[in-house]
Amino acid sequence: MITARDIMHANAQCIDANETLREASKMMRASGVGALPICGPDKKLKGIITDRDIVLECLGTGKDPDTMRAMDLAGHLHCVRADDDMDAVLKKMEQHQIRRMPVIDDGKLVGIITEKDLAMGHRMAKGVTDQQIIDFMDSMFAKH
């Protein structure tokens, strides 16, 4: 059985829940990513913030990225467990239209699964099937 742990990008960088959005944007730029998981002092996953969140919900509404905190934009959290099978992971990503899925183990962040990870898992024959990729792409990008 292929699990989230087999496909995920391990060692995902986390931003502290109390860091500013300016700091979040600097971390994203330095890491070349468009999203950061948000963790509390206990290292447990609290949410996820995207570059789009910063632009639309902070800058686009005239708020200050130097005073607004990462946790202010955390929203509803969707994540999967490291031992979840790929069918369950893909179903959750499709159902909630999530392109970056945090992976937890005992409530703590252990990795993240992105569209790129899915494509690489398929390309490297790690158990992501042609049909799973087709179904995922259809659900994410097909016009309804």
Confidence at 142, pLDDT banded by 50, 70, 90: low
CA distance 91 to 4: 12
**Could you tell me the two tokens for 9?**
């990008």
**Could you tell me the two tokens for 108?**
């703590």
CA distance 92 to 78: 8
**Percentage, residues of the chain above pLDDT 70:** 93
CA distance 96 to 38: 19
Q: pLDDT tens digit string along 21-55? A: 999 999 999 999 999 999 988 888 999 999 999 99
Between 133 and 65, the higher pLDDT residue: 65
CA distance 15 to 131: 35
Of 41, 62, 107, the C-alpha closest to 80 is: 107
CA distance 114 to 28: 15
CATH of domain 4-141: 3.10.580.10
User: What residue ranges do the domains of the chain occupy?
Assistant: 4-141
Q: Please give the mean pLDDT across all residues of the chain.
A: 87
**CA Rg, the chain, in Å?**
16
Assign residue 117 a region (left: φ > 0; alpha: ψ between -120 and 50; beta: otherwise): alpha
Predicted TM-score (pTM) of the model is 0.81
